[in-house]
Amino acid sequence: MEQALIICDAPKGREFYEDILTKNGYEHLVTVANGEEGKRALADGEFDICVINTPMRCCNAIGLAKEIALHHTCQVLLFVREESFEATAEAVEDYGVLTVAKPVNRQAFWSTLKLVRATAARIANANSEIKRLQKKLEEQKTISRAKCFLIEKQQMTEADAHHYMEKQAMDRRVSLHLVAEDIVDFYSED
């Protein structure tokens, strides 16, 4: 279930965004009228997309878009008047905010949503790979730490320590990382 936050102080704009987002699979919509309400909504829950409609009477929409993009994982779409599109896009693009010139028709908005979904999928894949690599790095740190304990406490060479840990892993039918954790736990208690 995809969730969207709409920050828009114009009633007609809210209706337009709600209609298109609902028709494009966003089942949970939260619509607020200003940036402070938007920040509270983001603090209370996770959203896949945040639509910000400009101009806003009560706050700096560019600053709001940057802040949301920096501190939240949702994709930020900033809708601006055509005459301010270039300057706004340049101001927010380094933050990953997508800027859309108004007036926007339904087809253009639909295409933008497809782009947002594709971008979100790439980011999710990249985050998954980052987590996998971080886990592998942590495992390697534990293995290295265990080898250091064996070298220091058992006077083994690095090669002997590695061979000992591999043999333990094979004999116990567990991963090298698990053997390393056991060694680190044993020697850390000293």
Would you list the domain boundaries of the chain? 2-104, 131-188
The H-or-E segment that residue 53 falls in is: strand 49-53
- Write down the residue that tokens 């005459």 correspond to: 83
Each residue of 28-82: pLDDT tens digit?
999 999 999 999 999 999 899 999 999 888 788 999 999 999 999 889 999 999 9
Q: What is the pTM of this model?
A: 0.72
Each residue of 103-157: pLDDT tens digit?
988 888 888 888 888 888 888 899 899 999 999 999 999 999 999 999 999 999 9
Does position 164 have pLDDT exceeding 70, yes or no?
yes
Beta 26-32 vs 98-102: how paired, if at all? unpaired
Mean pLDDT value of segment 163-185: 96
Does position 189 have pLDDT exceeding 80, yes or no?
no
Short-list 175, 190, 180, 178, CA closest to 142 = 180
- CATH of range 2-104; options 3.40.50.2300, 3.90.180.10, 2.40.40.20, 3.30.830.10: 3.40.50.2300
- What is the assigned CATH class of domain 131-188? mainly alpha
